[in-house]
Amino acid sequence: MKEEIISLIASVLEIPEENIQENTNLVNDLGLESLDLVDLVAAFENKYGIEILDKDIKNLQTVKDIILYIEKKNV
Protein backbone atom coordinates (compact mmCIF):
# COMPACT_ATOMS: atom_id res chain seq x y z
CA MET A 1 0.00 0.00 0.00
CA LYS A 2 2.89 2.36 0.75
CA GLU A 3 4.08 2.23 -2.86
CA GLU A 4 0.55 2.82 -4.18
CA ILE A 5 0.09 5.87 -1.98
CA ILE A 6 3.48 7.32 -2.91
CA SER A 7 2.71 6.74 -6.57
CA LEU A 8 -0.67 8.45 -6.24
CA ILE A 9 0.85 11.45 -4.45
CA ALA A 10 3.53 11.73 -7.15
CA SER A 11 0.92 11.56 -9.88
CA VAL A 12 -1.41 14.16 -8.36
CA LEU A 13 1.41 16.57 -7.49
CA GLU A 14 3.32 15.82 -10.70
CA ILE A 15 6.62 15.13 -8.94
CA PRO A 16 9.02 12.15 -9.08
CA GLU A 17 8.26 9.29 -6.71
CA GLU A 18 11.91 9.40 -5.58
CA ASN A 19 11.16 12.73 -3.86
CA ILE A 20 8.60 11.10 -1.57
CA GLN A 21 9.40 9.03 1.52
CA GLU A 22 7.28 7.93 4.49
CA ASN A 23 8.54 10.83 6.60
CA THR A 24 7.98 13.42 3.84
CA ASN A 25 5.88 16.34 5.08
CA LEU A 26 3.29 17.31 2.50
CA VAL A 27 3.46 21.05 3.13
CA ASN A 28 7.04 21.64 4.27
CA ASP A 29 8.79 19.17 1.95
CA LEU A 30 6.48 19.08 -1.08
CA GLY A 31 4.99 22.57 -0.95
CA LEU A 32 1.43 21.26 -0.91
CA GLU A 33 -1.17 24.03 -1.26
CA SER A 34 -4.86 23.92 -0.43
CA LEU A 35 -5.99 23.08 -3.97
CA ASP A 36 -3.40 20.31 -4.14
CA LEU A 37 -4.78 18.94 -0.89
CA VAL A 38 -8.32 18.88 -2.27
CA ASP A 39 -7.09 16.95 -5.34
CA LEU A 40 -5.08 14.56 -3.19
CA VAL A 41 -7.95 13.84 -0.80
CA ALA A 42 -10.31 13.23 -3.74
CA ALA A 43 -7.79 10.85 -5.31
CA PHE A 44 -7.47 8.84 -2.08
CA GLU A 45 -11.22 8.74 -1.59
CA ASN A 46 -11.78 7.51 -5.15
CA LYS A 47 -8.97 4.96 -5.16
CA TYR A 48 -9.71 3.43 -1.77
CA GLY A 49 -13.48 3.95 -1.55
CA ILE A 50 -13.23 5.87 1.72
CA GLU A 51 -14.35 9.24 3.02
CA ILE A 52 -11.68 11.44 4.55
CA LEU A 53 -13.40 13.71 7.02
CA ASP A 54 -12.55 17.41 7.01
CA LYS A 55 -11.60 17.21 10.70
CA ASP A 56 -9.08 14.46 9.90
CA ILE A 57 -7.35 16.24 7.02
CA LYS A 58 -5.36 18.54 9.30
CA ASN A 59 -3.79 15.48 10.96
CA LEU A 60 -2.50 14.09 7.65
CA GLN A 61 0.82 15.89 7.55
CA THR A 62 3.21 13.18 6.40
CA VAL A 63 3.03 10.30 3.97
CA LYS A 64 3.12 7.91 6.94
CA ASP A 65 0.08 9.69 8.44
CA ILE A 66 -1.78 9.05 5.19
CA ILE A 67 -0.73 5.40 5.04
CA LEU A 68 -1.85 4.74 8.63
CA TYR A 69 -5.14 6.61 8.11
CA ILE A 70 -6.04 4.71 4.95
CA GLU A 71 -5.04 1.36 6.48
CA LYS A 72 -7.29 2.11 9.46
CA LYS A 73 -10.21 3.11 7.20
CA ASN A 74 -9.81 0.01 5.02
CA VAL A 75 -10.06 -2.47 7.91
Q: Which amino acid is at 53?
A: L
25 strand-pairing partners: 62
From CA 26, how far away is CA 18, in angstroms rounded?
A: 14
pTM: 0.89
**pLDDT tens string 21-62:** 999 999 999 999 989 999 999 999 999 999 999 999 989 999
CATH classification of 2-73, choosing from 1.10.1200.10, 1.10.3720.10, 1.10.1740.10, 3.20.20.220? 1.10.1200.10
- Is the per-residue pLDDT at 11 higher than 80? yes
DSSP calls for 44-75: HHHHHT----HHHHTT--BHHHHHHHHHHHT-
Give residue limits of the domains in the chain: 2-73
Distances (CA, A) of 16 to 7, 48, 49, 70, 73: 9, 22, 25, 22, 27
**How confident is the model at residue 75, as a pLDDT?**
60
